[in-house]
Structure 1
Amino acid sequence: MALTLEEREQFLAQPHVAAFSVDGGEGRGPLTVPIWYQYEAGGEVWILTGRDSRKHRRIDAAGRFSLLVDRIEPTIRYVSVEGPVTRTAPGTPALLREMSARYLPAEKVDGYVEFAAKNHGEQVVIHMRPERWVSADLGQV
């Protein structure tokens, strides 16, 4: 059973770890990896990634990417969203903190932000406008 617009936006707004996917380039399958993301209903999705990462290079080349989030309890539900990149900007400590706080317990955020700032290199924030949605809730399957 497909989800309504409101249901899929609410589900995507929850802090799921997404399967990120982008065109992998000539002769390769899609680049697909787990990723943290941020989304508020009705807005754009954004991710943080390394400025020099393969993800960033492939997004830059393709101009678009996809995210898939799912769960298996209390029902099997998923939302997939795909769309064009609307803007890319330098990552900031504030955005890193916001993303970290979405996924980590409060007492772990400072340590992770410090670790990421030292070890992940320069980051970029990439915004995507949801254009195509696929969603379902399989009930009590």
Structure 2
Amino acid sequence: MALTREERETFLAEPHIAAFAVDGEPGRAPLSVPIWYQYAPGGDVWIMTGLDSRKNRRIRAAGRFSLMVDRVEPTIRYVSVEGPVLDTVPATEKDLRELAARYLPAEKVDGYVAFASANHGEQVIVTMRPERWVSSDLGSV
């Protein structure tokens, strides 16, 4: 059964790890990898990635991407969202801290931010406007 707008937006706002997908290079399948994201109901989605990463190069070429999040308990539920890129801006430590705090226990955030700042290189925030939604709750099987 399809989710209501409120159900799908609430579900997407939960801290799931998303399956990110973007058009691949000619002769290659779409690029699909797990990724952290940020979203608040009614707003835009943003991800953080390396400035020189394959993800960012493919996003720039395609101008859009999709995210899919799912769970299997207490019911089998998923939400997929796709849309155009609105903006790409340099990421700040504040952005990194916000994203890390969404996924990690509070006592791990400082260590992760220090590690990521030292090892991940220049990062960007890519913002996407949700344009197409696909969602379902299959209940418990």
Deviations 1:21-73 (A, max 9, x none): 00011110000000000000000000000000000000000000000000000
Alignment partners' CA distance in 2, 1:54 and 1:131: 23
What TM-score, normalized to structure 1? 0.99
Could you tell me the percent identity over the aligned residues?
Answer: 75
- Provide the aligned C-alpha RMSD in A: 0.3
**Residue aligning to 1:89:** 89
Which runs of 5 or more structure 1 residues have no equivalent in the other structure? none
Alignment partners' CA distance in 2, 1:3 and 1:113: 35
Alignment partners' CA distance in 2, 1:23 and 1:65: 8
Which runs of 5 or more structure 2 residues have no equivalent in the other structure? none
Alignment partners' CA distance in 2, 1:119 and 1:21: 24
Deviations 1:65-121 (A, max 9, x none): 000000000000000000000000000000000000000000000000000000000
**Residue aligning to 1:122:** 122
Say yes or no: does 1:50 pair with 2:50.
Answer: yes
Say yes or no: does 1:135 pair with 2:132.
Answer: no
**Which stretches of structure 1, 4 residues or longer, exceed 6 Å deviation after superposition?**
none
What TM-score, normalized to structure 2? 0.99
3-state SS in 2 of match to 1:114: helix
Structure 1 residues 10-89: aligned runs within 5 Å: 10-89=10-89
3-state SS in 2 of match to 1:52: coil
